[in-house]
Structure 1
Amino acid sequence: MTQIKVVYTKYDGTLHWNHPGTLLGEDDHGAWVSVPAGTQASKGAEPPVTWETPIVMLFPRDGWWTATFHTPPHSFEVYVDVTTVPRWRNGEVTMVDLDLDVILLRDGGLVLDDEDEFAEHQVTFGYPDDLVTRAWETARWLLAAVEGREGPFGGAHTAWLDRAAPSG
């Protein structure tokens, strides 16, 4: 298993969430990364936070999103960021966070989050029209796929969680 760095930026290039992970492997859905409990993650220059539960992340080969699958007792089951297509280079996977998030809560609730941030950043960062269209299309597709437990959201993550290194 290979150690990597996960790096999200904002559209203007500023650093967003970033943290280490372990590349577990790939399947038809994309590349799977383990992030054990106790991992420290930073949001830009803010002080790091420590994740209390292990997760696995999915980075699709050509999708405009990334997914995080949380373990109990975390209140989120699935957290999907609408992003640019993840790119791999020199031990890093990087993508631009496009604000919109699809969240499946552990209690079954489904949320589209940060629409206000997306609207604000369209102006602040000058998102091109085609990027705005792609982000909305992706968010709508993700809402349906997560709700319907389709594709990678149908339980594919469980085998990768089983392969992940012990937390801590």
Structure 2
Amino acid sequence: MSSSWVWRRGRKLKRADHVHGWWWEAVLGDDEHGQWAAQLAQAPTFLRDGTVFRMADAVIRCYPRDEWWVATFYGSERGVTFVRPGGGVDERLNPNAIYVDMSTPPEWTEAGISFVDLTVDVVKRYDGTIAVLDEDEVDEEARKWATPAGQLAQARHSRARVEGFMTAGVGVFGVVAESWRDRFEGCR
């Protein structure tokens, strides 16, 4: 590991006071798209239900400064291992090359970085297929978590924008993420 990295905790919330999951990541740097960070291969992500999962490869994330999404870029479809509460283990291939959570804009604090997940996601699979996930659950989740209507409108607007960016292969959804992965891999 590079001693020059700054390590911090990343947190995905369901509302400002409810942690859905958390992990440790290294801050890689900033560009016009936002701040980039990496989670090491096999590093644990802890979920609120007690599940711990580990990706086979390093994960690269982009936290845009003023956008209502956070993008996660996976290294390969080699897989993910879930360890469930009680000890059950589930291993799967990861079908998603890119996973984008529609969320509130990320918030940087001394404790790390966090964002509120707004349920709907856009993914790009390794076969090139782009899909919208969980759109049918948005209203139910919004009631459950008392999500403000303005945040739901932002999530839907961002979903359409991200889907368009992915389809066109522009911005962070072009070659930008791979250049950050190369920098990360080159420093290890």
Matched, 1:115 2:128: no
How far the C-alpha of 1:155 sits from its partner, in A, is 1.1
Q: CA deviation at 1:53?
A: 1.4
Q: Distance in 2 between matches of 1:29 and 1:108?
A: 22
Mapped partners of 1:110, 1:119: distance in 2: 22
Aligned pairs (5 A) from 1:13-162: 13-73=17-77, 74-162=94-182
Quote how far apart the aligned CAs of 1:80 are. 0.3
Q: Distance in 2 between matches of 1:91 and 1:22?
A: 14
CA distance in structure 1 between the partners assigned to 2:177 and 2:138 by the alignment: 28
Equivalent pair of 1:34/1:165 in contact (CA under 8 Å): no
Inter-partner Cα distance in structure 2 for 1:141 and 1:152:
13
TM-score normalised over the length of structure 1: 0.93
Q: Give the AA of the match of 1:92.
A: G
- Residue identity in the other structure for 2:103: T
For 2:184 and 2:100, the matched residues in 1 are separated by 20
CA RMSD in angstroms comes to 1.6
Deviations 1:94-152 (A, max 9, x none): 11011110000000111100113312112222322211111100111111011111111
Q: Which runs of 5+ in 1 are unaligned?
A: none
Residue type of the alignment partner of 1:68: T
The TM-score normalised by the length of structure 2 is 0.84
CA deviation after TM superposition for structure 1 residue 51, in Å: 1.6
| Contact 1:12–1:125 under 8 Å retained in 2 | no
Q: Which structure would you say has the larger Rg?
A: 2
Please give the alpha-carbon distance, in whole angstroms, between the structure 2 residues aligned to 1:48 and 1:132: 29
- How many corresponding residue pairs? 167
Runs of 4+ residues deviating >3 angstroms: none
Deviation of residue 165 (structure 1)? 4.7
Contact (CA 8 Å) 1:36, 1:165: kept in 2 or not?
no
